[in-house]
Amino acid sequence: MATTNDLKNGMVLRIDGNLWSVTEFQHVKPGKGGAFVRTTLKNVMTGKVVDKTFNAGTKVETANVDRRDMTYLYRDGDDFIFMDASDYEQVPVPATTVGDQSRFLLENQEVQVSFNDGVPLYIELPASVELEITHTDPGVQGDRSTGGTKPATVSTGAEIQVPLFLESGTKVKVDTRDGRYLGRVSG
């Protein structure tokens, strides 16, 4: 147990049986009335974001979240198999838990997997990954109707928008949060 005075970003709270991660908080002390804490919480399982206000000093139940560095090995049916870097334990994580993150997940990629009581909650990819374009149509010179971008399929199977001049086989840097093209990777 903790109080709202102890809140920190990244802390996970158990509210009504659900786990919520604190993404933002602000202590407010109005001129009149009691102080309170305004928070933005993200549901660990569904990703839903809500705003919640607590009275200052309110007791909140914290959940013990264990973040472990792991390596993605392979997909096995509906599970993604990860290996703990410290003890080489292999852990299956359901596809529903991995969710959209799988669009940018490559074999042997380092990720963080968060657990609560041994149950995988979610995975965190690095902010950006380097992927190879496996297919894209040649850019047509003078075609600017699409704002200078075209769809491209990358080595994980995800489709992203890239500048017209890029070709298949080019390595690119991609933002894992929204799939944005960040630049070419030389080499």
Domain that holds residue 14: 2-62
Same domain, 7 and 34: yes
- The distance in angstroms from the start CA to the end CA of the chain is 51
Residue where a domain stops, chosen among 124, 144, 172: 124
**Do 116 and 135 fall within a single domain?**
no
User: Which helix (H) or strand (E) covers residue 130, if one does?
Assistant: strand 128-136
> DSSP letter at 103?
G
CATH code of the domain containing 13? 2.30.30.30
15 and 32 fall within a common domain: yes
pTM for this model (two decimals): 0.70
- Nearest Cα residue to 95 out of 109, 83, 84, 81: 81
pLDDT in tens, 20-68: 888 899 999 888 888 999 999 988 877 789 999 999 889 999 988 888 9
CATH number, domain containing residue 70: 2.40.50.140
